[in-house]
Amino acid sequence: MIKLDYKNVSSLVIGEKNGLNLENEFLEYKNRIKDIIIDLNQRKDKPGQWLQWMNLGYSEETVWYVKEFASMVEGRFENILVLGIGGSALGGIAVTEALLKPYWNLCSKEQRNNYPRIFFLDNIDPDSIKGLLDILDLKKTLVNVITKSGSTAETMSQYMIIKDMLEKELDDDYRKNIVVTTDQKIGVLRQLADQEGYKTFVIPDDVGGRFSVFSAVGLLPFALVGLDIDKIMSGIKDMDLALKNTDIFENIAAQGALINYLADTKLGKDISVMMPYSSRLRYISDWYVQLWAESLGKECNKNGEKVNVGTTPVKALGATDQHSQLQLYNEGPNNKLITFIRVENFDNTLEIPKIFEYTGIGYLGGKTINDLINAEADSTKVTLADHSRPAMTIFIDKVDEYNIAELMYMLEVQTAIAGELYNIDTFNQPGVEQAKNYTYALMGRAGYEDSAMNLQSKISSV
């Protein structure tokens, strides 16, 4: 089970001005947290609450269908190409980067145990799309188009380009190279997929994009590249059980949520830095940034009052960003809460040879790279405390399916609890929808004509 160490948020360590009296705060919020946890668990099965993500760990049916499809196509494709953006891509990127052998796409087929390479197109830079399409043999590529709404312009335009290319290369057989993950009923892609006869997977109702990683959105690509999705499900289930505990003193998601909330509202720490000390967890930060930003950055609270809340999530990587951002964290404005993620057991131990003994780098010889990264993480934590900067650390035993699922599910629940503390709707994203609608208008989508005229005048006046 993953652990949370919040000692360096305590006023006993970093002083009253920048720290929290956690014992008192936990006691003060004990009942409120209990009510929130009970409420989330009671509401999770009700339609329209957008809490179905809390049930994904138990969806044996999805696992079965995903495994069935993965075994059906095993050995047929050299590449998986995922088309998606935001919540339809970030979880997949985070998990595959964490769990696949590092530099997976550069490994030989044998090193990949015959599983395919995997690529994510989550942007619409024409140069990078063209660059990838130039090197992929589409005939040997399974394209997984992922979009909850079934109409996102970025994903749909990529799909249109690639479908056209596939059809030219494969004639009618092109359909076998496309698998779609989308809503069961709504959206343009759902209609097209049904007409074209693609294999489809469903993103369940009431699961928002940023909470969808453990639906077929993530599970399908994970299974296709040989990740153990049963272990992922076990990690979610065990964490879900642990987080049903309504006692703030024993629930790490509640602790993380409350600390973030109080650091913001009481201490003015309105920047939330996520800093794993593991390159493999680098994209967990990207995923977390979206989860936190889109969920908590809201104009109005549930009563309709204008509140403009939300702390700004920032991603950092240890030890790399000690040489980039740490100066600011230590000496710049004291407005950040830093969350480290530490891996207790790396898969490898890398010894530094005992050479150059009589030089200034001789002290490194005989130690391991593991010693070094741990020393750097400890040093950063202490130096931040020396400067009265609050920080907490999530410890995970190792980077594997079980632990990554626990970590990500815990962060989802933490976000949901934080949203309740702010009294906002955690699961909508009107700010994202507004930009999407503007794009539709500018690209000439029917029904958006008035908005298009309005926008053109705003654009030309800038």
Segment 401 to 440, residues that bind ligand PA5, using CB under 6 A: 429, 432
**Residue 155 within binding range of ligand PA5, rule CB under 6 A:** yes
Query: Token match 């505990």: residue?
Result: 245
CB of 114 to ligand PA5, least distance (A): 30
CB of 292 to ligand PA5, least distance (A): 12
**Residue 92 within binding range of ligand PA5, rule CB under 6 A:** no
Judged by CB under 6 A, which stretch of 1-9, 141-149, 329-337, 383-391 contacts ligand PA5? 141-149
**Which residue number is nearest to ligand PA5 in terms of Cβ?**
209
Q: Which residues are catalytic?
A: 294, 323, 436
CB of 173 to ligand PA5, least distance (A): 27
From 209, 235, 276, 313, residue interacting with ligand PA5 (rule: CB under 6 A): 209
From 10, 52, 152, 251, residue interacting with ligand PA5 (rule: CB under 6 A): 152
Structure tokens at 240: 């879900």
Query: Token match 């020393």: residue?
Result: 375
CB nearer to ligand PA5: give 92 or 276.
Answer: 92
C-alpha to C-alpha distance for 217 and 232, rounded to whole angstroms: 14
Which burial class, exposed, middle or buried, applies to 238 when counting CB atoms under 10 A from its CB (0-12, 13-18, 19+)? middle
CB of 290 to ligand PA5, least distance (A): 6
From 122, 286, 294, 406, residue interacting with ligand PA5 (rule: CB under 6 A): 294
Residues 6+ apart with CB under 8 A from 211: 50, 53, 87, 291, 412, 427
CB of 156 to ligand PA5, least distance (A): 8
Q: Would you put residue 310 in left (φ > 0), alpha (ψ -120 to 50) or beta?
A: left
From 163, 190, 210, 269, residue interacting with ligand PA5 (rule: CB under 6 A): 210
Q: What share of the chain is helix, strand, coil (3-state, %, to 5)?
A: 55, 15, 30
C-alpha to C-alpha distance for 338 and 317, rounded to whole angstroms: 11
Q: Compute how many residues bind ligand PA5; rule: CB under 6 A.
A: 15
Q: How many CB atoms lie within 10 A of CB 180?
A: 24
Structure tokens at 372: 């070094």
CB nearer to ligand PA5: give 88 or 251.
Answer: 88
**Residue 339 within binding range of ligand PA5, rule CB under 6 A:** no
C-alpha to C-alpha distance for 442 and 36, rounded to whole angstroms: 42
> 23-43: b or e for each residue (b if 16 or more CB lie within 10 Å)?
eebbeebeeebbebbeebeee
Beta bridge partners of residue 118, listed in sequence order: 80
Segment 68 to 87, residues that bind ligand PA5, using CB under 6 A: 85-87
CB nearer to ligand PA5: give 141 or 147.
Answer: 147
Structure tokens at 3: 């652990």
CB nearer to ligand PA5: give 209 or 218.
Answer: 209
**Residue 391 within binding range of ligand PA5, rule CB under 6 A:** no
Judged by CB under 6 A, which stretch of 208-216, 265-273, 309-317, 402-410 contacts ligand PA5? 208-216
CB of 209 to ligand PA5, least distance (A): 2
**Residue 208 within binding range of ligand PA5, rule CB under 6 A:** yes
C-alpha to C-alpha distance for 400 and 95, rounded to whole angstroms: 10
Cβ–Cβ under 8 Å, residues 281 and 62? no
CB nearer to ligand PA5: give 89 or 138.
Answer: 89
Cβ–Cβ under 8 Å, residues 20 and 28? no
**Which letter does DSSP use for residue 184 in this model?**
S
Q: Which residues sit at the interface with ligand PA5, rule CB under 6 A?
A: 85-88, 147-149, 152, 155, 208-210, 294, 429, 432
